[in-house]
A = this chain, B = another copy of it.
């Protein structure tokens, strides 16, 4: 990547695979938009190919700068494939609402999504794996790694953790009202937006284990009723001083 021109925001260069063909007006390649979508989620869909067959595996992930991280059991098919450096597409998406129109063709969805392309590498150094796992927990629950029973080397060996430098990426965002058509004039069907929101529920302490009672400050962003994306943004901001 070349640095951005003076005054231009840092951006991914659209490539043949990342360029959005349909509705290019909804496409974004700047880091702020791409990272905004990537940082709003916890589950990504990792696409990979084995013998010509596509697989899409949902998995927990996180982002640091231009790198995505995810992990799984050392024995997983997905990890075995992507760790070999096969091409990967990591997609993160959110449903934000139903657009309810007055004709069939104007029904739609509001959404945010990112497709990120690259090749992953397996992290094999135990110290590196330990630091990355701490960074993941710290990214979600700022300061929490310091309170936990330390992970043993044997435990770390059972985790396969991969790092993917994002080579190219695009975001696609639709956040509009219904695109009513002239032909819909006069039709009386209800027309508007039904929002969809992902929120935190009431935390449930595990009976007889740990501190009990209300969640500790590392869990403060996850208060009941908070939007998940707001909670994750807050957690990331809290975690900055001690992140990887």
Contacts and interface: CB of A to CB of B under 8 A. Distances in A.
Interface of A: 17, 21-23, 42-43, 45-49, 52-58, 60, 72-73, 75-77, 87-91, 93, 95, 97-98, 100-105, 107, 109, 111, 113, 115, 117, 133-134, 137, 140-141, 144-145, 147-152, 155, 158-159, 177-178, 180, 183-184, 187-206, 209-213, 215-216, 218-219, 222, 228
Interface of A is mostly: mixed
A84 B54 CA distance: 15
Contacts of A101: 148
B204 A188 contact: no
Given A76-B21, A190-B210, A192-B205, A87 B54 contact: yes
A193 B206 CA distance: 7
A88 B56 CA distance: 9
A54 B45 contact: no
Contact of A58 (B93, B102, B134, B216): B93
A42 B95 contact: yes
B189 A216 contact: yes
Contacts of A109: 42-43, 60
Q: Tell me which of A105, A199, A200 has the highest count of chain B C-beta atoms within 10 A of its own C-beta.
A: A105
A73 to B, nearest CB: 5
B219 A190 contact: yes
B187 A148 contact: yes
Contacts of A211: 188-191
Nearest to A188: B211
Nearest to A116: B56
Given A87-B52, A219-B100, A191 B204 contact: no
A102 to B, nearest CB: 5
Given A55-B47, A192-B205, A215-B194, A141 B77 contact: no
Given A192-B203, A195-B204, A205-B192, A105 B52 contact: no
A22 B73 contact: yes
A205 B45 CA distance: 33
Contacts of A155: 103-105
